[in-house]
Amino acid sequence: MLRPRNHSRRRGHAIVEVSLMAPWIFFLCVGALDFGFYSYAAICTENAARVAVQQTSIDANSAASSATACTYALGEMKSLPNMNGVTTCQASAGSISSSQPLAVVATLVNPGADGTLASSVTVTYQTTQMIAIPGLMASNFTLVRTAQMRLREQ
């Protein structure tokens, strides 16, 4: 049986097209993984600030307790890859590093947003680079989230 002449010229087109598109598909998948990690890190940082401010807003004595805020923030951030073995928080955002990627600062705000005493917690987290793509993405990002809550006892 003879094949039509046009069919023989079309052989191999799929392999050529896939080989040309493979690098773009690879970078798309890597980018999706990186975006997912950075989104998860942002959510964890927001949750850490929220949980820490809930615990420090009990009364005026605990409102400025960065140690209490740090304890609860560490509990929320423990699932991130560069938080293994981290047991303390830095006192200011300017001192975070790859070995200490978390800074938690709690302050008493007088007056708060509604005119009453409030507790404010700022959590600063420095991400790690998941998959290196030179020239396309920064090596790491610094995420800063602040939560403020009125004191329960005044």
- Express each pLDDT in 19-59 by its tens digit: 999 999 988 898 888 889 999 999 999 999 999 999 999 98
What is the pLDDT, as a whole number, of residue 143?
A: 92
Spatial contact of 53 and 121, defined as CB atoms under 8 Å apart:
yes
| Residues of the chain under the 50 pLDDT cut | none
Ordered by start, the domain boundaries in the chain are 9-150
Q: Give which of 60, 48, 123 is closest to 92, Cα–Cα.
A: 123
Compute the chain's Rg from CA coordinates: 25
Give me the amino acid identity at 23: P
pTM score of the predicted model = 0.80
- Classify 110 as helix, strand or coil: coil
What is the pLDDT, as a whole number, of residue 10?
A: 62
- Count CB-CB contacts under 10 A for residue 116: 12
What is the pLDDT, as a whole number, of residue 138?
A: 64
- Rounded to 5 degrees, what are φ and ψ at 106? -110, 135
Give me the amino acid identity at 144: V
